[in-house]
Amino acid sequence: MTVLDIEGVSNVRDVGGMAAAGGRIRSGMLLRSGQLSGATPAGATELSELIAHIVDLRDGEEIAAEPTGIEGPATTHLPLFLGSVRSFFDADTSLDDLYLHLLEESGERLVEAIRIIARGEPTLVHCTVGKDRTGVTVALALAAVDADRDAIIADYALTESHLPRERTQRIAAYLRAQHPDAVHAVALATRSPAPVMRALLEKIDERWGSAAGYLRANGMTDAELGALKAALVESSSEG
């Protein structure tokens, strides 16, 4: 994957280049990031030249607080959390349980996000920090086209080191003050441990057979899965 320096936007990268069955993930087709509201004019222009579609996985409250103003690309809002983000901190939800919750409760919206990627237009997927909702969506899309599992996990784990340090410190201090007895709150907001994504992909294999099987169970057709592979996978001969 390639880390991109876009002014005012954190955690931006292109997942192209990782190995996949039959070739590698096509560069420039699937990007991921944190929220776009802080993009400078130069950053917004650069993004608009790179992508044709934005998939925003945030809920209405998050969008109202940090609206996105990138002109040019189409934008689709697909809030993945059923309930407020705040509720997961109040319940001291672990990352493992959060991701399983996403799979169990937001399957149709995950499929809708991946259908957009399957159109074959350069697409950026983002949420607030680009870690959890974005991480699960991108991992599913990559796993469904048989991208290298270790590369998928490494891409997910990379997020933690690309979050703004000042934000991470501020959020951690706030959560410790607000939830002094919480076990998972700081990790939920700031961490992306490789074992968590590995365990999630293994859980998908156990329950649905594969990532493609999960997507089929939530309404994606074989033709759409074929389109996803055509969009994302570049054969060795193409390269």
Residues 6+ apart with CB under 8 A from 90: 179
Q: What average pLDDT score do residues 93-114 get?
A: 94
Contact 125, 31 (CB under 8 A): yes
> Is residue 179 pLDDT above 70, yes or no?
no
User: How many whole angstroms separate alpha carbon 12 and alpha carbon 178?
Assistant: 30
Q: Which CATH architecture describes the domain 2-230?
A: Alpha-Beta Complex (3.90)
Report in angstroms the alpha-carbon separations of 178 from 89, 132, 166. 10, 21, 18
| Mean pLDDT across 138-159 | 97
84 CB contacts (<8 Å, ≥6 apart)? 59, 61
Six token digits for residue 173: 């201090």
> pTM for the whole thing?
0.92
The residues spanned by each domain of the chain are 2-230
Q: Is the pLDDT of residue 190 over 90?
A: no
pLDDT tens sequence across 36-62:
999 999 999 999 999 999 999 998 888
Q: Where are the alpha helices (DSSP H) in 146-219?
A: 149-162, 165-178, 185-190, 194-208, 211-217
The 10s digit of each residue's pLDDT in 196-233 is 999 999 999 999 999 999 999 999 999 999 999 999 99
DSSP β-ladder status, 13-14 and 30-33: antiparallel
Burial class (CB in 10 A: 0-12, 13-18, 19+), 50: middle
Residues 147, 20: Cα–Cα separation, whole Å: 4
What is the Cα–Cα distance from 163 to 155, expressed in whole angstroms?
A: 14
